[in-house]
Amino acid sequence: MKRFTRIAVAVAAAAGIAAPAMAQEKVTVWFTKGFYKAEDDALYEVIKKYEAKNPGVKVDLSLYGTEDCNTKSVGAVDSGTPPDVGFCTTYDFRVTGKWAFEGKLEDVTDIVAPLSDKFLPTTTSTTYLYNDKAKRKAYYAMPIQRQTMHFNYWKDMLEEAGFKENQIPNTWNEFWGFWCDKVQPAYRKKTGKRIFAIGHPMGVAASDTFYSFLTFAAAHNAQIVDENGKVVLDQPKNRQAMINAVKDYASIAEKGCTPPSSVNWLDPDNNVAFHNKQTIGTHNATISIAAKWLDDAKNQSLTAEQRATADKNYKENVRTIGFPKKPDGSTMTHLVAVKTAVVFADGKNKRRGKEFLAFLMQDENLTPFVEGSLGRWYPVTKGGATRPFWTDGSDFHRAKVYGQFNEYTQPFQFVYNYKFTIVNSENVWAKAIQRVVNDKVKPEQATDEMIARIKQLAG
Amino acid sequence: MLMRASTLTARTALDSTAATGHKRFNSWQMWGALLLVPYVLVFAVFVIYPVVYGLWVARNPESYARLFQDPVFPRTVVNTLIFLLVGVNLKFLIALGLSGFFVQQKRWIQALLLLFLLPWAIPSIPTILSFRFMLNPEWGLINNTIFRLFGIDGPGWLTEPTLAFASSVLVHIWKSLPFWTLILITGRLAIPTELYEAASVDGASRWQQFRFITWPALATLYLTSTMLSMVWTLGDFNSVYLLTGGGPGDQTHVLATLGIRYLRIDQLDLAMASIVMAMPLVLPLVIFMVRRLAAGEAKLAH
Amino acid sequence: MRKYLNEARLFLIGLPVFLWTLIPIWHLTVLSFSPKDDVTAGTWLPSQFTVQNFEIIAGQKHYYLNHFWQQFGNSLFIAVVAGLLTLLIATFAAFSISRLKTRGGSVVMNFALATYLIPAAFLAVPMYKVMGQYGLLNLQWSLILAMVTLASPYAIWVLKQASDKLPYELDEAAIMDGATPLQILRLVYLPLMKPSLVAIGTYALLLAWNEYLYAFLLLSKDSDVTLAVALGHFLSADDSPWNLLMATGLVYALPPAAIYYAFRKYMVGGLTAGATKG
């Protein structure tokens, strides 16, 4: 019935009967629904403050699930009815670069420029994008928060297998060998359970898969594009490095070190397997695995006992570490994704949209929003990253994240060539791995097929 | 509909009466047109326009070039053909056999028939997801049972591409078998029992009875049902999408799920192009069936 | 002796049929009554029989069930409205084609039949895009209208066939008495068509209740979606509440299953030829 009334109201409004109600100005905002309540609460607070500061302006907020948010936005942009402001946590992977190229986004340089001192280096460079319609580069998106790749493991399971944390090697081959060849057999022998050492995503439909794989590729120094967006993967040195990465990534599956169903995994499934203690460790881009236990520890709808377990898991049992040194012995370069908010060129109230975005970017508004994710997202501003939340060392997981972001980082390929968004969503990486694991072709052949397909899609 | 058709009264007589009616009552035509308007509107707005729009989006030959470049596409076409040929025929052979089993009027068989209808009566999502969990290679019911009984790891029901595809075919059969068995049961029940009695008096074997009485009586129904089932099997999205999601490695897609895959990876023109490419399979079947249903309604049941 | 042999042979067919049919449903039911720890245990019986899952559902005490009753209501609302609208549109059309012999009626009928036969999965993407253009996306009306579009062709066809069987003399007599077409529709046609109307209404209702693909494409907000979509959302949970998923699935499956059984005889007559389509 609510729909009927709403339609009736709309009709009445159109007919001019309800004209006074139209006086209110509206700004339409779409966000990804937070993983945790604190995130959404922080956003509501920003909106409340913005509306108080701008009487007569109403923020019409819609929160969508991660996948849906992107799909709905793409649909709305295609049909020319986008919101004014959009922030989905998969935009950067999937569409920001493409939209900028096609001229679907509003230039937000005038908001970014005054803030340039506040941003951490390398954050804004990922939103300086080429617009093929205007034939120029400009800031077409706003950096909001970041993520990178971590490794999580169960400390209690490791100890059950008879190992200590300080035995975890910090060199590449030894690190993976430790989990697959030592911990897994030892754990199985001790417990008789068919448990796997690593949750190793290989599903085509998971962003986890390309994030993890591209981290492996980065570790092997496989350069895929140059800074002008030209594909350089076919150069012999890069091709060889990619072959090594494919071989390496596939070997973990071939050794039976990851659950067989990881070839089908969707984004939550490595978390699921880990939380159910089906795997001892897993790599994951964000510390959402640990943060889930922190969230549970605070969740009043759980029993006191469950909360105590969750608290113990967060503080003691679940551990977060970075990746080991590269195979060549040098320090790991962390692959960092910058989550981007945009103002749409076809939005009905772009002016207010930009105003709202600028308002959100103020430290006192952005920081609670980013910190509401319990450490899942890392700040883009100096102010955000120097807060005790990250630096006081009281939280094991956040301290590790902070450490990683202060080492070498590198952006994704799609920052230089937006067509890599297609390469990633088609997931040529997962396909190459599955060619090796399922179809038993040589890594060389799988890599050459991968390169050929990449050149078709992005060359 | 297959049953109703048999009692269809003589149409031609009605038509001539109606024709004279038309001349007398011109306002009837006006009312007739008016009452057709709602459906015609729905049809125009939600069928014609989307189709035209889809064709417009897929108008660019370049989209098809890209579609053919995508290794997933040829694989999907082959999958769809296998799904059709194996899925439908296997289903109908089983349905034909089971209909012979279920026509027996024993009480326990009739009770079993009621249970047998469950897959058809229950919506797809919960049951297909149940299959999905059951067939999980690590912790699913099936492989756990295999492990407990034989101490070995069971097959990768959903992780081996061939096996995963076979699993979707099986789920499809599981879901739609009861309906077609029911149709064939009603077909069998329409065969006069005297024919069988006479045949057994003459000493005809079971096979001969099937060959000379059952099959001739069922053939048309069997073939028409097969065609109908083929069209619907072409559109079976759930059995593939909810079970394997097209995985592993996009190797188990069928044309019904491919459009959604392209939509998910933001390739709208390829989504439309893949649907257009399904039409050479769909349209002949549809046209054939429309003709058959519209013109030969009475033929169906005989 | 021969009789027992025959019985044994029948039993050899019956047993596999029984297992084949029931194992997935059994599994669904077992998980529904199992505690959370059982979801990855792969057992044939719950380690401990519990109805706690249903309490959680009824009390909406899980993140993925926060809107359970709302979603149940959405499913019901959408199914009922789609059923009624389909009935209305199809009755008008069938009456027009069959009784008023409207010119062009058979053309409309053939197009409707073709729409019925073309698998809905192929219309989903264009329909989804077009709903966006109409500004209906994310509104429950989009799903209702989509379901009406998919259900009415078959509805018209069945109603037309049933209506063709009504003796034309009834109309003639009414015309003699000076009845207008609308009066004939109301006073002669509708009462006689009642059984078919009930069956067709049920068909459209179930089609909409069971629909997954269109529902997940067209709706997105947690408070707007149907139960079918909500079930799909469970797969993106990272705490594997599969027992809750299966229990919710059971709750979702029971109403249509009950209706199928109640209307079984009817449906064999062809109604469910359409229901298998979805």
Query: Over the stretch A250-261, which tens digit does the pLDDT of each residue have?
Result: 999 999 999 999
CB contact under 8 A, B119 and C96: no
Q: Evaluate if residue A87 carries a pLDDT over 60.
A: yes
Long-range contacts (CB closer than 8 Å, 24 or more residues apart) made by B95-101: B95/B177, B95/B180, B95/B181, B95/B183, B95/B184, B96/B184, B96/B218, B96/B222, B98/B177, B98/B181, B98/C13, B98/C17, B99/B181, B99/B184, B99/B185, B99/B187, B99/B188, B100/B188, B100/B210, B100/B214, B101/C10, B101/C13, B101/C14, B101/C17
User: Is A171 strand, coil or helix?
Assistant: strand
Contact B158, B135 (CB under 8 A): yes
**DSSP category for residue A331:** P
Cα A39 to Cα A147: distance, rounded to the nearest angstrom: 16
- R_g over Cα of chain C: 23
pLDDT value at residue C127: 95
8 A C-beta contact, residue B146 and residue C45 = no
Please indicate, yes or no, if residue C242 is contained in any of the structural domains: no
C145 belongs to a structural domain: yes
Residues B139, A278: contact at Cβ < 8 Å? yes
**Number of structural domains chain A divides into:** 2
Q: What mean pLDDT comes out for the span C109-137?
A: 92
Query: For position C80, what pLDDT does the model report?
Result: 97
Give the pLDDT of residue A259: 95
Of residues B40, B123, B145, nearest to C256 (C-beta): B123
Kindly indicate the confidence band of residue C266, based on its pLDDT and cuts at 50, 70 and 90. Answer: low
Domain assignment present for residue A9? The answer is no
Tell me how crowded residue B6 is: count the other CB atoms within 10 A of its CB.
Answer: 12
The reply to whether B130 touches chain C by the CB within 8 Å rule is: yes
Please determine, for residue B301, whether its predicted confidence score (pLDDT) is greater than 70.
no
The lowest-confidence range among B115-124, B281-290, C201-210, C268-277 is C268-277
- Residue A253 touches chain B, beta carbons under 8 Å: no
Does residue C200 belong to any structural domain of this protein? yes
Strand pairing class (A85-87; A128-131): unpaired
Number of separate domains in chain C: 1
Nearest to A259 among B138, B266, B268 (CB): B138
- Average model confidence (pLDDT) across chain A: 91
Looking at the predicted structure, is the pLDDT value of residue C269 above 70? no
Q: Would the pLDDT of C274 be above 60?
A: no
Beta strand A318-321 with A409-410 is: unpaired
Residue B298 predicted with pLDDT over 80: no
Q: In this model, does residue A8 exceed pLDDT 60?
A: no
What residue spans define the domains of chain B?
Answer: 18-57, 66-301
In a domain, A87, yes or no: yes
Does residue B237 sit at the C interface (CB-CB below 8 Å)? yes
In-domain check, residue C166: yes
Give mean pLDDT, residues A308-317.
Answer: 96
pLDDT band per the 50, 70, 90 thresholds, residue B56: very high
A129, A63: one domain: yes
CB contact A263 to B (< 8 Å): yes
Among B30, B122, B127, most C C-beta atoms within 10 A, so best to mutate, is B122
For C99-121, what is each residue's pLDDT tens digit?
A: 888 989 999 999 999 999 999 99
Per CATH, the number for B66-301 is 1.10.3720.10
Read off the tokens for A262: 């990881």
| Angstroms from B283 CA to nearest CA on chain C | 8
- Among residues B211, B193, B201, B7, the alpha carbon closest in space to that of B96 is found at B211
Looking up tokens 């960092």 gives: A336
Contact partners, residue C2, CB within 8 Å, separation at least 6: none
The CA distance from C235 to the nearest CA of chain B, in Å, is: 9
Which CA distances in Å does A231 have to A126, A129, A227, B224, B297? 18, 18, 10, 54, 61
* Nearest chain C residue (CA) to B228: C117
Contact A154, A318 (CB under 8 A): yes
Residue of A nearest to C60 (CA): A301
- State residue A17's pLDDT score: 43
Backbone φ and ψ of A145, nearest 5°? -160, 170
- Mean pLDDT of the residues in chain C: 89
Query: To the nearest whole angstrom, how far is the Cα of A437 from the nearest Cα of chain C?
Result: 25
The secondary structure of chain B in percent helix, strand, coil, rounded to multiples of 5, reads 80, 0, 20
Residue A53 confidence (pLDDT)? 95
The residues, ordered by sequence, that sit 6+ positions from C122 with a Cβ below 8 Å of its Cβ are B235, B255, B256, B259, B275, B278, B282
CA distance B9 to chain C (A): 6
CA distance B246 to chain A (A): 9
pLDDT-derived band at C272, boundaries 50, 70, 90: very low
Report yes or no on A12 lying in a domain.
no
Lowest-confidence range among A18-22, A318-322, C139-143, C240-244?
A: A18-22
Residue A21 has pLDDT above 70, yes or no: no
- Mean pLDDT, residues A55-62: 93
Q: Which residues of C touch A61 (CB under 8 A)?
A: none
pLDDT the model gives residue A76: 87
CA torsion A118→A123→A124→A127, rounded to 10°?
Answer: -150
Among the partner residues B156, B245, B247, nearest to A260 by beta-carbon distance: B156
The arithmetic mean of pLDDT across residues B234-239, rounded, is 95
Instruction: Kindly tell me if the per-residue pLDDT of B120 is higher than 50.
Output: yes
Subunits next to C (3 or more Cβ pairs <8 Å) are A, B
According to the model, what pLDDT value does residue C207 have? Answer: 94
The string of pLDDT tens digits covering residues A143-182 is: 999 999 999 999 999 999 999 999 999 999 999 999 999 9
- Which residues form the domain of A260? 149-335+415-458
Structure tokens at C161: 């066939």
Q: Looking at residues C48-61, what average pLDDT do you find?
A: 93
- For residue A390, is pLDDT > 60? yes
A125 and A174 fall within a common domain? no
A17 CB contacts (<8 Å, ≥6 apart)? none
Within 8 A of C139 by CB-CB distance, chain A residues are 3
Q: What percent of chain A has pLDDT over 90?
A: 82
Instruction: Flag whether pLDDT at A314 surpasses 90.
Output: yes
Structure confidence at residue B247 as a pLDDT band (50, 70, 90): confident
CATH code of the domain covering residue A110: 3.40.190.10
Q: Residue C276 — very low, low, confident or very high, per pLDDT cuts 50/70/90?
A: very low
- Tell me the average pLDDT across A51-61: 94
Whether residues A329 and A431 share a domain: the answer is: yes
Of all residues in chain B, the one with the smallest CA distance to A91 is B266
pLDDT band, residue A11 (cuts 50/70/90): very low
Q: Which of C40, C133, C138 sits opposite A79 (nearest CB)?
A: C133
Based on the fold, state whether residues A291 and A275 are members of the same structural domain. yes
Mean pLDDT of A392-416: 93
What is the predicted pLDDT for the residue at A16? 42
- Flag whether A16 is in a domain: no
User: Do A316 and A399 share a domain, yes or no?
Assistant: no
Element (H, E) at A60: strand A57-64
Over chain B, what is the mean pLDDT? 87
In a domain, C39, yes or no: no
Give yes or no for residue B85 having a pLDDT over 70. Answer: yes
Per the CB < 8 Å rule, is A263 touching B247?
A: yes
Are residues A316 and A450 located together in one domain of the fold? yes
Confidence at residue C236, expressed as pLDDT on a 0 to 100 scale: 78
What is the crossing angle of helices B72-82 and B61-69, to 10°?
A: 80
d(CA A139, CA A113): 9
When pLDDT is cut at 50, 70 and 90, the band that residue B200 belongs to is confident
Q: In terms of domains, do A301 and A443 share one?
A: yes
Predicted confidence (pLDDT) at residue A1 exceeds the cutoff of 50: no
ipTM here = 0.91
One-letter amino acid of C183: Q
What is the reported pLDDT for B296?
Answer: 53
B190 C-beta neighbours (distance < 10 Å), count = 14
Residues of C in contact with A288 (CB under 8 A): 238
Contact by Cβ (8 Å): C62, C241: yes
CATH number of domain containing C177: 1.10.3720.10
C115 within some domain: yes
Higher pLDDT, B190 or A12: B190
Q: Inter-chain contact C220–A76, Cβ cutoff 8 Å?
A: no
Asked if the Cβ–Cβ distance from B71 to A259 is below 8 Å, we say no
The arithmetic mean of pLDDT across residues A46-69, rounded, is 91
The answer to whether the Cβ–Cβ distance between A72 and C137 falls below 8 Å is: yes
Q: Domain boundary at A371, A394, A410, which?
A: A410
Q: Does residue A389 sit in the same domain as residue A377?
A: yes
**pLDDT value, residue C268:** 57
Domain extent for C218: 67-227+254-275
Contacts of B163 in chain A (CB under 8 A): none
Q: Is the pLDDT of residue B299 over 70?
A: no
Domain assignment present for residue A193? The answer is yes
Residue of A nearest to C74 (CA): A1
Which residue(s) pair with A128 in the sheet?
A: A139
Has residue B10 got a pLDDT over 50?
no
Counting one residue from A and one from B, how many pairs have CB atoms under 8 Å apart?
Answer: 73
Instruction: Please name the chains neighbouring B, where neighbouring means 3+ C-beta pairs under 8 angstroms.
Output: A, C
Q: Using CB atoms, pick whichever of C96, C146, C168 lies closest to residue B35.
A: C96
Same domain, yes or no: A194 and A248: yes
Kindly report the number of other CB atoms within 10 A of residue B255's CB atom: 27
